[in-house]
Amino acid sequence: MPTVLREPINLLGLGTAELAELVGTWGGKPFRAKQLQRWIYQRGVDSFGDMTDLAREFREQLARHCTVKALDVATEQRSSDGTRKWLFDVGKNNAIETVFIPEDDRGTLCISSQAGCTVGCPFCSTGYQGFNRNLTTAEIIGQLWYAKRELEADVQSARLDDTAASSTRVISNVVMMGMGEPLLNYDRVLGALRLMLDDNAYGLSRRRVTVSTSGVVPMMDRLGRDCPVALAVSLHAPTDALRDKLVPLNRKHPLSELLAACNRYLEHAPRDFITFEYIMLDGINDADEQARGLVEIAKQVRCKFNLIPFNSFPQSGLKCSPPARVRLFAQRLLDAGVVTTVRKTRGDDIAAACGQLAGDVKDRTRIRERLPNQGTIVINEERE
């Protein structure tokens, strides 16, 4: 009878309890699992032979049965502003994108959670790619694992020039704002979040890990109970009539439900406000009327608004609000006492800016056929 060869167990993505259970099958103590986590995540080591404070017999067992395997990188691009983008191969002709944004006071990694997206927002390039599958916890946390190793290797390199040096700030913040809707891949995203927060893995503060959602209300409630991190909500409109068109999920979870969920989340959140993301679309959602609507929302939920200049892509047919209009819109909110920022566009020369991530997705949902011609968006149509 032929011998069945088992695939090595990928330790990347396993939590402390899972590692402890695995180590226990070989008679190892739970502290060995914590040692292993520190080698994998804090030091970025993928060779068991290099894990020098582990017993030789244990390292040999790991080498026989396990691996530490991140995603394969198809391409890497560097923007003139220091932003870096990696295209990761996730198999079967699908690829996802991850972006690192260096700033003066932080280094932010934007991570993907799905190969594509099912929500289908018309201003988002990912939506036009359709949807293929959810990423595993290993594929999600592997983006952080790989980026951290690459950035730290650059820091150590003696050949850095000034341009490269500007993109080597350590990763201090992680945002689940890449491809996909994180809360529609809840269990696997939860596993990755717990590793980001685990002191034996990445040890990030809850305030420095952000999940962005288009408004999956039931999962917002679960996240508040299971693993409350900072929350950003893709709002983009102050009324149901307009939000139905810009964020199709609104037809299932309208604004009244969404705002109530935000207030419930605040009972557990590490910050005392929700960040509302608001894409600025010329002639669509940038009038004084919409600004007044946001002021009313701010009276219902403790929040801040992050206005995002729209970053164009060929299929959208949409335009960004003129800079003067964005400034005036922001001032309307500020004058009403609402905390408001305007997001600085980063990495647009390599299509790494907000809304531009597309990767390469073999669509299983025919979503492109359902997305409207963007010139047909009407802002004064009554809600159906």
Beta-bridge partner residues of 78: 84
CB 270 within 8 A of CB 226: no
pLDDT number for residue 373:
47
Residue 121 within a domain: yes
Q: At what angle do helices 217-226 and 255-266 cross, to 10 degrees?
A: 0
pLDDT at 6 over 50: yes
Residue 294: HSE in the Cβ half-sphere, 13 Å Cα cutoff: 34
119/55 same-domain check: no
161/57 same-domain check: no
Around Cβ 18, how many Cβ atoms within 10 Å? 15
**Amino acid identity for residue 219 in this structure:** M
- CATH (domain of 24): 1.10.150.530
Burial class (CB in 10 A: 0-12, 13-18, 19+), 50: exposed
To the question of pTM greater than 0.95 for the whole model, the response is no
202/132 same-domain check: yes
Which of 101-105, 284-288, 299-303 shows the lowest mean pLDDT across its residues?
101-105
C-alpha dist (Å) from residue 342 to 20, 170, 310: 45, 24, 11
58/133 same-domain check: no
Range of the domain at 314: 72-376
pLDDT number for residue 50:
95
210/352 same-domain check: yes
As a whole number of Å, the end-to-end CA separation of the chain is 64
pLDDT in tens, 101-155: 998 889 999 999 999 999 989 888 887 788 889 999 999 999 999 999 999 988 7
Q: Whose CA is closest to 15, among 142, 187, 188, 195?
A: 195
To the nearest whole number, what is the mean pLDDT of the chain? Answer: 88
225/142 same-domain check: yes
Residue 382 within a domain: no
Q: How many domains does the chain have?
A: 2
Residue 2 within a domain: no
51/81 same-domain check: no
- CATH (domain of 158): 3.20.20.70
d(CA 166, CA 160): 10
CB 363 within 8 A of CB 356: no
300/247 same-domain check: yes
d(CA 365, CA 129): 10
Q: Whose CA is closest to 115, among 136, 94, 101, 100?
A: 94
Catalytic residues, by residue number, are 97, 354
pLDDT number for residue 130:
84
Residue 147 within a domain: yes
Residue 327 within a domain: yes
d(CA 119, CA 126): 10
pLDDT number for residue 166:
46
Instruction: Choose the final residue of a domain: 67, 84, 115.
Output: 67
C-alpha dist (Å) from residue 336 to 101, 114, 291, 294: 31, 38, 10, 10
28/165 same-domain check: no
C-alpha dist (Å) from residue 296 to 293, 314, 327, 345: 5, 34, 19, 27
28/118 same-domain check: no
Instruction: Choose the final residue of a domain: 20, 38, 67.
Output: 67
Q: What is the dihedral of CA 208, 214, 216, 221, to 10 degrees?
A: 30
Residue 383 within a domain: no
26/155 same-domain check: no
Residue 1 within a domain: no
Query: Residue 19: which H helix or E strand, with range?
Result: helix 16-24
d(CA 139, CA 145): 10
pLDDT number for residue 382:
41
Beta-bridge partner residues of 108: 101, 173
Residue 3 within a domain: no
Q: How does residue 379 score in pLDDT terms, banded at 50, 70 and 90?
A: very low
Q: Which residue has the higher pLDDT, 318 or 113?
A: 113
Length of the chain: 384
Q: Whose CA is closest to 307, among 284, 276, 336?
A: 276
27/139 same-domain check: no
Average confidence (pLDDT) over 275-294: 97
Q: Whose CA is closest to 110, among 370, 322, 359?
A: 359
pLDDT at 314 over 80: no
